[in-house]
Amino acid sequence: MVEPVVIVHGGAWAVPERLWSDSVDGVKTAALHGYEILRKGGSAVDVAEAAVISLEDNPVFDAGTGSVLTFDEQVEMDAIIMNGTTMEAGAVAAIRNIPNPVKVARLVMEKTPHVMLAGEGANKFAAQYGINEVDKDLLITPYAKEELAEYKKYTNAVYCLFNKTDNAKQMGHD
Amino acid sequence: TVGCAVVDQKGQTACATSTGGITAKMPGRVGDSPIIGAGGYADDEVGAVSTTGCGEAIMKACLARHVATVMGTGQDAVSAIKNGLNHMESRINGFGGAIAVSCKGDVGMHFSTPRMPWAYVRLGKLHYGIH
């Protein structure tokens, strides 16, 4: 017998201090939720999915609700799930406006012969199983909007300086 | 990005990773998260891994598979993750983090970024951190 373990993460980046407490609370909640399912006899796949759903539903993390925005101010998300016993895997890429992409990834794994569905096809597949797009505003946080606005403001400022030669892009300006 | 790696009492493993990507990404850009062997990997003969960080670098490094392969040589989970992150940094100048469990119940996490919130439960006890 193996001592069961559930481990989760909330993303590796320069998490600002104002998010430290909520981020740690979020991963603690997800790990405990997963372990409880494991204790009740859930499979490893059940646990992985449930823990990630807990994190996707927490707006402090960049996944599901709380996802950052594309340059076009859209929500496009990626997810994967893998079963180490069967080596089966399912994934979605650039899926739009779905609160829990990992649920769709699991459906890809269990209901199709494929490993990944992307874009519009992923959304159509999700809808076949009752997982429909939601209003993107339900997934977008004020923080995500601020981040994108700050990025565009900064980028415009830098590129304006180099407008005549467009050297900024060539230089890979940081 | 968020992720999970699990091993149950029977030694059965699974992983999951989910992300919104990076701010202001090009529409259609896909990072490492949904790519097997990059954003996640699970194999009962070795363990389970979920990664996070610079997606383009993680894809080039096949980070999750790298960590799993090193665990398969008998190294502990933390050493395997450090090995993968060091490889990614030295060869691709990429940074990130990962969590892993081995099929024997060994657990590890490590990151080369300033912070990564993590938590795990083992023997009913919760462990957590961010720095």
Instruction: Please give the C-alpha separations between residue A121 and each of A23, A55, A93, B33, B103, in angstroms, as whole numbers.
Output: 32, 25, 10, 18, 35
Instruction: Please give the C-alpha separations between residue B89 and each of A16, A53, A119, B22, B77, in angstroms, as whole numbers.
Output: 23, 30, 31, 19, 18
Task: Assess whether pLDDT exceeds 90 at residue A160.
Answer: no
Q: How far is A154 from chain B (nearest CA, A)?
A: 12
What pLDDT is recorded for position A19? 94
Say yes or no for a CB contact (<8 Å) between A13 and B35.
no
CA dist B41 and B13 (Å) reads 10
Task: Assess whether pLDDT exceeds 50 at residue B19.
Answer: yes
**Which of B62, B50, B46 is CA-nearest to residue A49?**
B50
pLDDT digit string (tens) for B22-75?
999 999 999 999 999 999 999 999 999 999 999 999 999 999 999 999 999 999
Record the tokens describing residue B26, joined without a space. Answer: 């090009």
A67 touches chain B (CB under 8 A): yes
Report residue B101: phi and psi, to 5°.
Answer: -130, 140
B120 touches chain A (CB under 8 A): yes
CA dist B120 and A31 (Å) reads 6
Instruction: Please give the C-alpha separations between residue A142 and each of A35, A60, A77, A118, A168, in angstroms, as whole numbers.
Output: 32, 11, 18, 27, 29
Looking at residue A42, its amino acid is G
Helix H, strand E, coil C: the string for A114-146 is: CCEEEHHHHHHHHHHCCCCCCCHHHCCCHHHHH
**Which of A88, A84, A62 is CA-nearest to residue A144?**
A62
Say yes or no for a CB contact (<8 Å) between A5 and B120.
yes
Count the helices and strands in chain A (H runs, E runs). Answer: 6, 4
ipTM of the complex: 0.98
Instruction: Look at residue B50 and give its three-state secondary structure.
Output: strand
Neighbours of A88 (CB within 10 A): 17
Q: Which residues contact B50 (CB under 8 A, 6 or more apart)?
A: A9, B3, B4, B5, B15, B16, B17, B39, B40, B64, B98, B99, B100
What pLDDT is recorded for position A171? 41
What pLDDT is recorded for position A173? 43
Residue in A14, A70, A77 nearest the CB of B114:
A14
Q: Are strands A116-118 and A88-96 parallel, antiparallel or unpaired?
A: parallel
| Chain A residues with CB-CB distance to B7 below 8 A | 2, 4-5, 44
Q: Which residues contact B95 (CB under 8 A, 6 or more apart)?
A: A12, B53, B54, B57, B85, B88, B89, B112, B113
Q: Which residues contact A63 (CB under 8 A, 6 or more apart)?
A: A11, A52, A55, A56, A77, A79, A101, B1, B2, B18, B19, B20
What pLDDT is recorded for position A153? 86
What pLDDT is recorded for position A123? 98
| Chain B residues with CB-CB distance to A125 below 8 A | none
| Chain B residues with CB-CB distance to A64 below 8 A | 18, 20
- Stretch A7-27: mean pLDDT: 96
| Chain B residues with CB-CB distance to A47 below 8 A | 4, 6, 8, 14
CA dist A71 and A156 (Å) reads 13
B86 touches chain A (CB under 8 A): no
Say yes or no for a CB contact (<8 Å) between A3 and B12.
no
- Stretch A137-153: mean pLDDT: 94
CA dist B110 and B114 (Å) reads 11
